[in-house]
Amino acid sequence: MVGKVVLSNAGRDKTKVMVIVKETENYLLVCDGKERPVERPKRKNPKHLKLTNTYLTAQQLETNRALRKALKAISSTNEEET
């Protein structure tokens, strides 16, 4: 699931688009490249995330700048659809 784009459903980051960077036994570690950089991901309960069908490439996950750019493109596409 690493690289999968998710929407946060609970917490202070509610309605934010994020990406999964690591899986642990009970939690997923997610980041958005701005408030939660790749170096300091947020631990989230999978119940509090809405999974999408979109994945990011390893190249898009390398830097915070590339991650922000990819997530911005995805979130703008989602807003146009609704």
- Neighbouring residues of 77: CB distance < 8 A, sequence distance ≥ 6: none
Domain containing 76 equals: 4-81
pLDDT score recorded for residue 22: 94
CB < 8 Å & 24+ apart, contacts of 57-62: 57/3, 58/3, 60/3, 61/3, 61/19, 61/21
pTM for the predicted model, two decimal places: 0.88
Name which of 36, 71, 45, 46 is nearest 57 in CA terms: 71
Q: How many domains does the chain have?
A: 1
Confidence of residue 77 (pLDDT cuts 50, 70, 90): confident
- Tens digit of each residue's pLDDT (9 = 90 or more) over 10-36: 989 898 999 999 999 999 999 999 999
CATH number of the domain within which 15 lies: 2.30.30.30
The average pLDDT across 37-65 equals: 93
**What residues pair up with 5 in beta bridges, in sequence order?**
19
